A = this chain, B = another copy of it.
């Protein structure tokens, strides 16, 4: 009896030690092939894996997930889910449960993880600014309001992590690009650069060198060379934007979808049924590819040989694939109704596409365009794989 008691105690201790007591049976597994799919309407995420294209589980209680964004911990175990309602939730992909959750703002549109993995930084509309949290505990480390005049705070857009514990972002209401350095996490240092009128989104190039901010208030893009920031932002692609005709714009494209492929930048034209091509060294326009609708995401397969495009309403059931050498559409198809997002596997063999109104995620072979799998997901929007943890600017 006593021996059994001791055995039981030992077993319980080892269970607790191994952290296995309430974990799924497959909790001991690699995390390099994991991801999450946002179930926008239900405030949930599906945890998925792309080695066998399956759904592993569901995590609920994440609040308002319209325009939700996801970043990942350095070890690729945790997803940081940024909700529109200011909720920041750390989801344990192995345990498939919420590890921590805070409401950090009134209106948030995303965030990123610092180069060293120790800080999670959110970009907020209300209150306008960015906030840094401890990546383990989600405790507030630093609050950096986007104050541009006494008592006036701008909405923040386009936040991206860059090397050196820095983050770059744009101020929609203040025509500025800012870089905040968290090398001393509790005492961040911010540098301000005047930019074009009403930057509405931004991205950094994969090497973290250039920040590009799309402008809502004028035609063109503000470019800041982060290796020579003292030179300031300059305007490129002055023809980019709604142009003189002021075409109706059904949805402003996501700049984070911009792609560098085959030495060229591939950009969604605003209000036009075109994808713009620009030289990635000179930033001069070199061509346009006619497509089926107003592009929203223009995303390169990781090897850059293909660029995949989805569209704004009323063409949002379609997806087109451009060959970047031939500069022409090579495939057109519909994976379902209201295609909101697409994500490539890290080495590009597959792409996952979410069709919100068909309640379906389609997994496609990017070489043959064959459907590998269709997964039932409730009103899916964003799809995010853990390989983002390994990249600059996500």
Contacts and interface: CB of A to CB of B under 8 A. Distances in A.
A349 interface: yes
A346 B389 contact: yes
Contact of A77 (B11, B30, B73, B75): B30
Nearest to A368: B183
Contact of A25 (B8, B18, B161): B18
Interface in A355-394: 367, 386-387, 389-392
A227 B301 CA distance: 14
Contacts of A209: 262, 303-305
A379 to B, nearest CB: 28
Interface residues of A, number: 67
Contacts of A262: 207, 209
B32 A349 contact: no
Contact of A304 (B31, B33, B51, B207): B207
Given A18-B20, A75-B32, A391 B117 contact: no
A43 to B, nearest CB: 24
Contact of A4 (B8, B14, B19, B28): B8
A390 B390 contact: yes
Interface string A112-132: 000111000000000000000
Interface string A5-28: 101100110110111100101111
A34 to B, nearest CB: 8
A19 B11 contact: no
B346 A391 contact: yes
A234 to B, nearest CB: 18
A33 B75 contact: yes
Contacts of A281: 263
A208 B303 contact: yes
Given A18-B18, A20-B18, A116 B303 contact: no
A75 B31 contact: yes
A149 interface: no
A325 B227 contact: yes
B4 A347 contact: no
A145 interface: no
A270 interface: no
A32 B31 contact: yes
B389 A32 contact: yes
A33 B163 contact: no
Given A11-B15, A31-B32, A227-B325, A347 B73 contact: no
A221 interface: no
A172 interface: no
A32 B76 contact: yes
Contacts of A387: 390
B31 A30 contact: yes
B31 A20 contact: no
A29 interface: yes
Interface string A198-234: 0000000001110000000000000000010000000
Contact of A349 (B19, B30, B163): B163
A182 interface: no
A74 interface: yes
